[in-house]
Amino acid sequence: MKFTVSTSNVEYMKKRIAKKLSHLKTDKFVTVGIHSDAGTHEGSGLTNAALGATLNYGTKNIPASPWLEPGVNSGLKEYSKLIKNDIKDKKPLSLILERLGLMASSKVQAYMNDLKTPANAPSTIKIKGFDNRLINTGELKNTVTSKVVDNKPSEGI
């Protein structure tokens, strides 16, 4: 059997593929991190979002401890599987986005929990009893959530 490729064949296939994928088109976005409504971090005077950003990017006196982007990226293979299986199972896009956000926020929390570098100062380790720059009481880690939003976020990573 001989198959001939022509411009009309390509255009026809593009239209068929676009039609098959049209149910996945959305203007919604999934955001993962510490959102502005996450409250104030007890004892610091900072919002949880501001404290999370300070720890992620660092300051003149605080070394950066990137947690958001590497935490999200730690689940890339799992996200692909989830999306593939949910599409195959014909789950609604809104549910796929919610599930994706929950999985990503869980990955970020696990990454924060396991972070080992940069190390705390020996005096801080002595006070806390362990060495993790991002964990003290777990309050900050527990504010990492996901949201499905209607508009492209104007801030964040």
Asked whether the predicted pLDDT for residue 34 surpasses 70, the reply is yes
Interval 56-66 mean pLDDT: 91
What pLDDT was estimated at residue 5? 58
pLDDT tier for residue 4 given thresholds of 50, 70 and 90: low
* Burial of 52: CB neighbours in 10 Å, binned 0-12, 13-18, 19+: buried
Does this model's pTM top 0.85? My answer is: no
Cβ atoms < 10 Å from Cβ of 148: 17
29: β partners: 149
Choice among 5-9, 25-29, 86-90 with the minimum mean pLDDT: 5-9
Rounded Cα–Cα distance for residues 54 and 58 (Å): 5
Q: Which tens digit of pLDDT belongs to each residue from 71-127?
A: 999 999 999 999 999 999 989 888 999 999 999 999 999 999 998 888 888 998 899
What pLDDT was estimated at residue 141? 95
pLDDT tier for residue 10 given thresholds of 50, 70 and 90: confident
Q: Which tens digit of pLDDT belongs to each residue from 111-152?
A: 999 988 888 889 988 998 888 888 888 899 999 999 999 888
